[in-house]
């Protein structure tokens, strides 16, 4: 069987897909109803007039997955960016250029420390607000709750996931057990804020989270001398997506990651380079074509 490596986003479903691109544009925020567009689908019937736009999309995706060839599948990725971290505060203080050229290479400034930084109080509140938003969106707009949860191993993402979903009423059939995955962490190298903590430290601080077996005790990916590009990191996203799409039972997936990592994902999907705000959630409908052979490290086994 050929590897599942052809991934693309499905346009004309969410407002986020049409926003301005690049670093000097307003950052994309979480929009009402997650920014789903009012539109007709080929599966619409007169009986659907009373249903929410998300219910209509769910019916359409079910139709696409049912009629698709064996080597084609659709999922909704709710791509969340972590809340504000300590490093974000310093970058805002000194400016992006000074941060990238100097401060990001240090471990702190004598007052703040930003090696694998924690969320600020504002960042925690952003994550809690995202949780309240999710509950309302599910209850009012019938947005499906994620069936699987994946997160970067960096502390700011782990805290974001924990704070966002702490009070969410998850059904027994969809238990909340986030899986910690290296492939969706921030672009690694040079910036000390992107150097992760030891595996044992993560296990101690977040005992209910499940860590992929391949994660080493110490961070063997980060280098003080080389920083990944979005294109480099895209290879990790392809591997993650390939493993994710081996699971045909989960259509709605939560992925908590970072600004740079999200843009790397966009390069894989052909999505516009829309920069996201801290604490935001951006949904993307992803189409995968091709069928990968089952692997020993499949995400479905975690």
Q: Which residues are catalytic?
A: 82, 186
What pLDDT, on a 0 to 100 scale, did the predictor assign at position 234? 92
User: SS3 breakdown of the chain: % helix, strand, coil, rounded to 5?
Assistant: 40, 15, 45
* Spatial distance between the Cα atoms of 115 and 39, rounded to a whole number of angstroms: 45
- Render pLDDT for 53-112 as a digit per residue (tens, 0 to 9): 999 999 999 999 998 877 899 999 999 999 999 999 999 999 999 999 999 999 999 999
For 42, the token pair is 């080929």
Q: How far apart are CA 269 and CA 7, in angstroms?
A: 6
d(Cα 57, Cα 51) in Å, to the nearest integer?
A: 10
Q: Give the alpha-carbon dihedral of 223, 229, 235, 238, to 10 degrees.
A: 120
Asked if the model's pLDDT at residue 1 lies above 80, the reply is no
Contact 116, 195 (CB under 8 A): yes
Answer yes or no: is pLDDT of 239 > 50: yes
Task: Output Rg (C-alpha) for the chain, integer angstroms.
Answer: 19
Mean pLDDT of the region 114-133: 98
Q: Which domains does the chain have, with CATH numbers?
A: 6-295 (3.40.50.1240)
Burial of residue 297 (CB within 10 Å: 0-12, 13-18, 19+) is exposed
DSSP 8-state assignment for residue 37: -
pLDDT tens per residue, range 21-45: 877 788 889 999 999 999 999 999 9
Chain segment 142-164, per-residue pLDDT in tens: 999 999 999 999 999 999 999 99
**Tokens encoding 31:** 């929009």
Six-digit token pair at 293?
Answer: 């052979």
Quote the CA–CA distance of 129 and 118 in Å, as a whole number.
17
Quick check: helix, strand or coil at residue 47? helix
pLDDT at 210 over 80: yes
pTM above 0.85, yes or no: yes
Q: When comparing pLDDT for 300 and 269, which is higher?
A: 269
Strands (E) across the chain are located at: 6-9, 72-81, 148-151, 179-180, 210-211, 252-257, 281-289
Q: Rounded to an integer, what distance in angstroms lies between the CA atom of residue 171 and that of residue 226?
A: 44
CA distance 140 to 53: 11
């Amino acid at each position: 069987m050929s590897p599942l490596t052809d991934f693309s986003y499905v346009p004309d479903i969410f407002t986020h897909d049409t926003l301005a691109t690049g670093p000097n544009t307003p950052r994309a925020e979480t929009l009402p109803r997650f920014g789903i567009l009012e539109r007709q689908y080929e599966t619409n019937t007169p009986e659907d007039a009373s249903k929410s736009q998300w219910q209509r999309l769910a019916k359409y995706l079910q139709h696409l997955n049912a009629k698709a060839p064996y080597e084609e599948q659709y999922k909704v990725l709710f791509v969340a960016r972590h809340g504000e971290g300590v490093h974000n505060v310093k970058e805002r203080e000194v400016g992006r250029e000074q941060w990238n050229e100097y401060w990001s290479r240090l471990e702190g400034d004598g007052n703040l420390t930003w090696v694998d930084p924690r969320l600020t109080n504002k960042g925690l509140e952003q994550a809690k607000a995202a949780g309240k938003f999710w509950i309302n969106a599910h209850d009012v707009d019938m947005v499906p709750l994620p069936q699987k949860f994946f997160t970067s191993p960096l502390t700011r993402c782990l805290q974001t996931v924990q704070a966002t979903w702490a009070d969410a009423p998850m059904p027994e059939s969809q238990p909340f057990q986030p899986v910690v995955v290296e492939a969706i962490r921030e672009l690694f190298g040079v910036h000390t804020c992107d150097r992760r903590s030891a595996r044992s430290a993560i296990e101690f601080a977040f005992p209910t989270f499940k860590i992929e077996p391949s994660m080493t005790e110490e961070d063997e990916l980060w280098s003080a001398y080389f920083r990944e590009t979005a294109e480099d990191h895209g290879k990790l996203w392809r591997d993650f997506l390939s493993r994710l799409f081996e699971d045909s039972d989960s259509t709605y997936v939560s992925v908590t990651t970072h600004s740079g990592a999200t843009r790397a994902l966009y390069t894989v999907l052909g999505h516009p380079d829309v920069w996201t705000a801290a604490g935001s959630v951006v949904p993307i409908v992803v189409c995968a074509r091709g069928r990968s052979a089952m692997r020993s490290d499949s995400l479905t086994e975690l």
